[in-house]
Structure 1
Amino acid sequence: MKTKTILLATALTSVGFAAAAQEVTVMSWGGSYTKSQVEAYHKPFTAETGIAVNSVDSDNPATPIKAQVEAGNVTVDVADVEFSDAVRLCDEGLLEEIDVSMLPAAPDGTPATEDFIDGALQDCAVANIVWSTVFAYNTENNATAPATIADFFNTADFPGKRGLRKTAKANLEMALMADGVAADEVYDMLETDEGIDKAFAKLDSIKDDIVWWEAGAQPPQLLADGEVVMSTAYNGRIFNAAVAESQPLVVVWDGQILDFDLFVIPKGAPNLEEAKKFVAYSTDTQRLADQASWISYGPARKSSGALVGKFMDGETEMAEHMPTAEANLTNALVNNFEFWVDNDAELNERFNAWLAQ
């Protein structure tokens, strides 16, 4: 009888521990970007709360999130997605709404609603970074250094293969800017059939020289291996390859396209309360500044800026590598998320048809 009592007590204790165990599964983009989140968010979050963070990666987290919610089999609690995807998924009812009152104020007491930069707080999403699509080149594979987005499309003076992300987004905007369209006129142009035709015509001019990429880790590798002489890329990936890995890669900021990444919580997240705690913690002033010490993406909070210092090498000042640095904004375009929410399906259908030609 005594043995049975001990066994029963042990079993009940095990069940108690299992019930008390807390975790949250966070899906992001992998590579140096996920590493920056693990170091700045995941590890300190677990240390402070005791909630374990399971990190999973995807080439584009919006795709599996949509599939999981629609199938009623959600395994992810928090996902890092692009702006237009956050808005679209929210409009489709696939995300939990986020009460901004749960977000901590800035250190000086400024409410989160005033501390986040414009557009960073949405009904179902909280931004963590400002990043950009840029193009970059390998100094060892270019006799002349390209300086403008027009150079990217100029295969006569800059011969060689180009890397492009396999999607319409960013490619159409860059094509128009390379063709002489002013940044502030790009989306007006893309609202017209003439503008869309103009963008595809520009892409046609380099189509035979394009190497397509889909995952953010690919462009630095394509450049390092000499498979392409230039490639579009996420600015932080090039920074990591150039500074952390000492690759001879250089970012060209002309024609960059600025965007947000935001945290969202899928509808039906299995650990909803833990997910909310993670989002609130990971988007406070200090955490966003800490991430900028690992990768060159700008914090989405105003109060984080002054806390951004040097890279983890202890030498590289991060400010000049941010897409929002004044010197990098000379010919920059801010992604129009509303345009892509409205036109993504149609333009990608045309893009895929163009690819198949």
Structure 2
Amino acid sequence: MKKLMLSTALIAAGFAVAAQAEEITVLSWGGQYEKSQVEAYAKPFTAATGIAVKTEAADNPAAPVKAQVEAGNVSYDVVDVEYADGVRMCDEGLLETIDPAILEAGADGTPAMDDFLPGAVTDCFVATIVFSTVYAYDTTKFTGEAPTTIADFFNLEKFPGKRGLRKGAKVNLEMALMADGVPADQVYETLGTPEGVDRAFAKLDTIKDSVVWWEAGAQPPQLLADGEVAMTTAYNGRIFGAAVAEGKPFQTIFDGQVYEYDGYVIPKGAPHLEAALKYLTFATTTQALADQAKYISYGPARKSSGPLVGLFEDGKTEMGPYMPTAAENLTNALPSSYEFWVDHDTELNERFNAWLAG
């Protein structure tokens, strides 16, 4: 009997060790955003399932996926990508399809596909947040009149100083057209014509010699802090983190913001597919998405999460006004068109790279 009990105990212990040994790897963007995912998704998921979550970071997590899948050597289980990248990679056969039936209903009982914001769930992608590219400035650099519009970002005469821009066509072309007077609801119609593309690059020409280019999300706040730029475009959550969490004198300008979904995909051939699906399902529940907003100012991709968004982790800052989806921040805002960028990404980035080298 003692031998049997010992044997049973050893087997049970073995299963426990095996469960604890299971680990998935999630590729994200680093910084405060990654922290928000670890705190709101990964830690509670591990506590609930025993499955460990290892998080890695990249400047653009979409980039390594294609190489890994084509090489047949995939190390990532879940990858955080921008919406247009998720759609494009799905079309290219680089991602696992995701059955929407696995997604949990909202906390209020609303079926998942009615609870997620419009278009937030596709064949291979489930949105987690709404983020935006905004611009920001150091308030100590403008003691008189301060910039308030997207046009001010391009006005070197009125607001002198270096400008920070992400190195790429996307968002820069849209912001350039809005700064040049194109209404937000006409930006993609304009950008879909040769004349519109020329107009956008002509506007970028006006600040080209004053631009400091950035590629990783952590760079814009650092450029501001180091005094290398007077203003910079940035992900709104990065500026929020620097201003509210770190006390930097940075001001976000939402006028002319370009907002879009970001979310999770699973690379084709992910080594722990079943665990990856469990993680994705857990991370996209009403409560998990609401909890993420405690750490960063990105809006949840579920309607039922909105009422649950409360204070920042400091226990005193109301998160609502810092969200890109706050009503007052949407007065001159542009929803990024993933359809446009899926169709035109290659040609416009080729044009952008030629312009940059010229």
SS of the residue corresponding to residue 118 of structure 1 reads coil
- Give, in whole Å, the separation in 2 of the partners of 1:47 and 1:172: 44
Structure 1 211/271 Cα, relative in aligned 2: closer, same or farther at 3 Å?
same
Partner of 1:53: 53
- Give, in whole Å, the separation in 2 of the partners of 1:113 and 1:202: 40
Partner of 1:208: 209
Q: CA RMSD in A?
A: 1.8
- Give, in whole Å, the separation in 2 of the partners of 1:16 and 1:265: 26
4+ long deviations beyond 6 Å: 13-16
Q: Please state how far the C-alpha of 1:142 moved relative to its aligned partner.
A: 2.0
Are 2:174 and 2:200, in contact at CA under 8 Å, matched by a contact in 1? yes
SS of the residue corresponding to residue 255 of structure 1 reads strand
Partner of 1:191: 192
Partner of 1:334: 335
Partner of 2:259: 258
Partner of 2:78: 78
- In structure 1, stretches of 5+ residues that fail to align are 1-9
- Give, in whole Å, the separation in 1 of the partners of 2:264 and 2:105: 18
Q: Please state how far the C-alpha of 1:108 moved relative to its aligned partner.
A: 2.2
Aligned residue pair count: 350
Please list the CA deviations of residues 135-155 of structure 1 after superposition, one character each: whole Å capped at 9, or x if unmatched.
000001123310000000000
SS of the residue corresponding to residue 273 of structure 1 reads helix
Compute the TM-score of the two structures, normalised by the length of structure 2.
0.95
Partner of 2:3: none
Please list the CA deviations of residues 39-71 of structure 1 after superposition, one character each: whole Å capped at 9, or x if unmatched.
000101001100000100000010001111111
Partner of 1:182: 183
SS of the residue corresponding to residue 118 of structure 2 reads coil
Q: Please state how far the C-alpha of 1:341 moved relative to its aligned partner.
A: 0.3
- Give, in whole Å, the separation in 1 of the partners of 2:129 and 2:245: 20
Partner of 2:164: 163
Q: Please state how far the C-alpha of 1:293 moved relative to its aligned partner.
A: 0.6
1:339 counterpart letter in structure 2:
F
Q: Please state how far the C-alpha of 1:23 moved relative to its aligned partner.
A: 1.2
Q: Does 1:282 align with 2:283?
A: yes
Are 2:19 and 2:50, in contact at CA under 8 Å, matched by a contact in 1? no
Compute the TM-score of the two structures, normalised by the length of structure 1.
0.95
- In structure 2, stretches of 5+ residues that fail to align are 1-9
2:204 counterpart letter in structure 1:
L
- Give, in whole Å, the separation in 1 of the partners of 2:17 and 2:310: 41
SS of the residue corresponding to residue 122 of structure 1 reads coil
Structure 1 20/239 Cα, relative in aligned 2: closer, same or farther at 3 Å?
closer
Q: Please state how far the C-alpha of 1:287 moved relative to its aligned partner.
A: 0.3
Please list the CA deviations of residues 107-135 of structure 1 after superposition, one character each: whole Å capped at 9, or x if unmatched.
22111011001011100010000000000
Structure 1 vs Structure 2: percent identity of aligned residues?
68
Structure 1 68/309 Cα, relative in aligned 2: closer, same or farther at 3 Å?
same
Partner of 1:244: 245
Are 2:20 and 2:51, in contact at CA under 8 Å, matched by a contact in 1? no
- Give, in whole Å, the separation in 1 of the partners of 2:235 and 2:219: 10
Please list the CA deviations of residues 286-344 of structure 1 after superposition, one character each: whole Å capped at 9, or x if unmatched.
00000001000000000000000000001100000000000000000000000000100
Partner of 1:152: 153
